[in-house]
Amino acid sequence: MKIKVLGSSSGWAIPRLGCSCRICCSTNEKDKRLRSTVLINDSILIDAGPDIYHQLLRFKISKINSIILTHSHPDHIFGLHDLTPKKCKTMKKVPIYGSEKTWAVLDKIFPNAGFRKEIFRDYHPFELNNLKILPVPVIHADNIHTVGFFIEEGQSVLGYFPDFLGFMKEDDKKYFEVDCLILDGSTLKKPFPAGTNKWGHISILEGIRLATECRAKKTVFTHIGHRTPPYDDLSELLRKKGEFYAAFDGMNLEI
């Protein structure tokens, strides 16, 4: 399975306008991040944030076969405006997979856009291009249904959870030994937002503990915000912990 990281930032691109923190002032190209999305096997796009037009152009991607959505927050769906079949000829027959609640939002924002609607249900796997995709609901937003995906190809398993505070209680520690876990890296030490443990984003240090408990063979942090160190420092910190890595725009993975 091939995974290409098209974008690796949190809800706001990095650098943020007007910010003078270390990561926003970094000159390292790997610290310049657009909203999180990945492309699987050159054909399946997961999420389509407001930067998707520039991401597809940058990486010379002119055709995708399917889009699957984790949830309906703006940084994950607003790029669909540039992918409507009326504006993009190659999108005319491309299905968009989302939960029923995600599609309820899409129908309001993009009425009569001409998208090919496909609705998945939590814990019910579906197949795309010889991949088995299992949507798993996660704790993230207080009022937005959010899922991550376990994606299987042969014996290889990818876990993709870019917006994530935790698994549902009944799923806690249920999923073990994935080949690669791509996990929320919005902050380094403390969950975001501060002051609640009911919704939001897991910290990278907590993500390391979770990935270790789940025996993930490799973990890559994406959805990285500016409450983290710059790429070089973060990579060095993660390297000391084991098979942990910081994603960057353009990163290629294979499992």
Query: What local confidence, expressed as pLDDT, does residue 148 receive?
Result: 97
Mean pLDDT of 112-134: 94
Task: Name the pLDDT band for 38 (thresholds 50, 70, 90).
Answer: very high
Give the global pTM.
Answer: 0.95
In the predicted structure, residue 195 carries a pLDDT above the cut 90? no
CATH code, 2-254: 3.60.15.10
Q: Would you tell me the crossing angle of helices 204-213 and 231-239 to the nearest 10 degrees?
A: 30
Where residue 65 falls among pLDDT bands split at 50, 70, 90? very high
Q: pLDDT grade, residue 173 (50/70/90)?
A: low
What are 47-61's pLDDT values in tens digits? 999 999 999 999 999
pLDDT class of 172 with cuts at 50, 70, 90: low
> Do residues 105 and 111 touch, judged by C-beta distance below 8 A?
no
Judged against a pLDDT cut of 90, whether residue 119 lies above it is answered with yes
Q: What are phi and psi of 220, to 5 degrees?
A: -120, 125
Which region holds residue 67: left if phi is over 0, alpha if psi is between -120 and 50, else beta?
Answer: beta
- Is residue 86 pLDDT above 90, yes or no? no
pLDDT category, 177, cuts 50, 70, 90?
Answer: confident
Give the per-residue pLDDT at 197. 76
Nearest Cα residue to 5 out of 58, 84, 62, 66 = 58
Lowest mean pLDDT among 98-112, 173-187, 225-239: 173-187
Average pLDDT, the chain: 94
pLDDT for 198? 81
**% of the chain at pLDDT higher than 70:** 98
**pLDDT exceeds 80 at position 174:** no
pLDDT computed for residue 62 by the predictor: 85
Q: Is the pLDDT of residue 11 over 80?
A: yes
pLDDT at residue 194 in the model = 73
What percentage of the chain reaches a pLDDT higher than 90? 84
Q: How far apart are the first and last CA of the chain?
A: 5
Cα(229)–Cα(200) distance, rounded to whole angstroms?
Answer: 20
What is the rounded distance in angstroms from the CA atom of residue 64 to the CA atom of residue 246? Answer: 26
pLDDT at 164 over 80: yes
What is the pLDDT at residue 191? 84
Q: Mean pLDDT across the stretch 213-225?
A: 95
Which position has the token pair 């990561």?
23
Backbone phi and psi for residue 192, each to the nearest 5 degrees, phi listed first: -125, 135
